[in-house]
Structure 1
Amino acid sequence: MRVFNSDNKFCAFLRGVNVKGTNMKMAEVCSVFVGAGMKDVSSVLASGNILFSSEKKVEEIKEILEKSMSEHFSYEAFLFVKSQKEIETIFAENPFETDPRYHVYSFVGVDGIEKILLLEFEKSGKASGEEAQLIGRNFYWRVPKGNTLDSEFGNILGRKNLKNSFTSRNINTFEKVLKKI
Structure 2
Amino acid sequence: MTRYVALLAGINVGGNRLTMADLRDALEREEFEAIETVVASGNVLFDHEERPSAGLAEKLAWVVRDRFDIETFAIVMTRAELAAAIAENPFSEDGEEKFVHTIFFMGQPEADAVENLILDYTGKGNERIAAGTNALHVDYVDGAGNSKLTGDFIERRLGMKGTARNMRSMKRILAKMDEEV
> Shorter-chain TM-score: what band?
0.7 to 0.9
Q: Alpha carbons of 1:114 and 1:50: their partners in 2 closer, same or farther (altered >3 Å)? A: farther
User: How far apart are the structure 2 equivalents of 1:137 and 1:158?
Assistant: 13
Q: Does 1:178 align with 2:174?
A: yes
User: Quick one: percent identity of the two aligned structures?
Assistant: 25
Verify the 8 A CA contact 1:13 1:79 in the aligned structure 2: yes
Gap runs ≥5 in structure 1: none
Amino acid in structure 2 at the alignment position of 1:91: I
Aligned residue in 2 for 1:16: 10
Q: Alpha carbons of 1:100 and 1:109: their partners in 2 closer, same or farther (altered >3 Å)? A: closer
Q: Alpha carbons of 1:122 and 1:72: their partners in 2 closer, same or farther (altered >3 Å)? A: same
Q: Does 1:126 align with 2:124?
A: yes
Q: Alpha carbons of 1:23 and 1:136: their partners in 2 closer, same or farther (altered >3 Å)? A: closer
Aligned residue runs from structure 1 range 30-179, under 5 A: 30-55=24-49, 56-96=51-91, 97-100=93-96, 103-113=99-109, 115=111, 116-117=113-114, 119-124=116-121, 125-128=123-126, 130-146=127-143, 148-154=144-150, 155-157=152-154, 165-179=161-175
Q: Measure how far apart 1:28 and its partner are.
A: 1.1
Gap runs ≥5 in structure 2: none
Q: Alpha carbons of 1:152 and 1:33: their partners in 2 closer, same or farther (altered >3 Å)? A: same
Verify the 8 A CA contact 1:113 1:166 in the aligned structure 2: no
Q: Alpha carbons of 1:151 and 1:158: their partners in 2 closer, same or farther (altered >3 Å)? A: farther
Q: Alpha carbons of 1:63 and 1:138: their partners in 2 closer, same or farther (altered >3 Å)? A: closer
Q: Could you say what secondary structure the match of 2:99 adopts?
A: strand
Q: Could you say what secondary structure the match of 1:9 adopts?
A: strand
TM-score using structure 2 length: 0.83
Amino acid in structure 2 at the alignment position of 1:30: R
